[in-house]
Chain A
């Protein structure tokens, strides 16, 4: 029970400070990368692994980047060999579990780049969580993970 209160306190602390608190947040993001695309392409996909060390589920409800006009949460589903991409209201990272954003599956859809980006550049993405906290991550542009 005590443990639960500690976690709640951490979440409260993160939400109170608002900005990135990667050290104290219950949500940890690793292996973040964005698929490098040819010059002129205005839509890119971002992938990562999200781990939730907390005792409550965490939802990622939005994402933004100073380098892009808009980011949406999407999922590609291949059904009867037809690929459908659908906007998601949130990505749920279960308590004590993880969620992968991966090619041909869930991903961030990054649109309207403000600056020309190329292979090797780092993109800053701020994830908004349903507990009021946010998490800033850095994702390099690569051809493959």
Chain B
């Protein structure tokens, strides 16, 4: 009897201690995103936003940044993901202070066709605050290679047209401009928002 009581007591104590830890910081296995611990530092790049202003590593600093890589000639996964990110943004807007500290960035992996002007028509359609980014191919590659973002052109209709196979992950950068987490596709707005709040509590 004594042993059973002792076991029960230690189990209860363990659960209590566990809860205390969880109350301070969420465990990584509670987050469906892959969290990078420590965050991965990224070296500088020189790109352009859809207002034709420079977009560099500094542009990722001071805010949490969600990055998605795609192209405007992509009819399915890119608008689907941008729409999901817009839904996530509406969920995050319930907390105005936290929301003011978030930006969503769509980086083109098809800079041949996606000019800043083209992105200016495309990206704000999903949310006026979203930022479209493009630039010279080698600068796009400088960023994507560091992040493990793949993009491969695939010719269609005897070379008259092409599609681009590309990574479907959404990447989260910390306000220090380091890669903090990767969200695998398919994306859901509720899960992105919930994971983001938990990742914020890790800091």
- Co-assembled chains A and B: yes
A43 within 8 A of B: yes
Complex CA gap A45/B79 in Å reads 9
State whether A85 and B185 are in contact (beta carbons under 8 Å apart), knowing that A45-B76, A107-B76 are contacts in the complex. Answer: no
Q: Are A35's CB and B75's CB within 8 A?
A: yes
Q: Could you say which of B51-59, B96-104, B163-171 contacts chain A?
A: B163-171
CA distance A84 to B125 in the complex (A): 24
Of all chain B residues, which has the CB nearest A38? B125
Given known contacts A78-B168, A84-B165, A143 and B77 CB-to-CB distance under 8 angstroms? no
The complex places the Cα of A78 from the Cα of B80 at a distance, in Å, of 13
The interface residues of chain A lying within 8 Å CB-to-CB of B201 are none
Q: In whole angstroms, what is the CA distance A144 to B82 when docked?
A: 12
Q: Is A110 an interface residue (CB 8 A)?
A: yes
Are A41's CB and B80's CB within 8 A? no
**Using a CB–CB distance below 8 Å, which chain B residues touch chain A?**
72-77, 79-80, 83, 118, 121-122, 125, 150, 154, 156, 163, 165-169, 184-186
User: Which residues does A use to contact B, with CB under 8 Å?
Assistant: 35, 37-45, 74, 76, 78, 81-85, 87, 103-104, 107, 109-110, 143-144
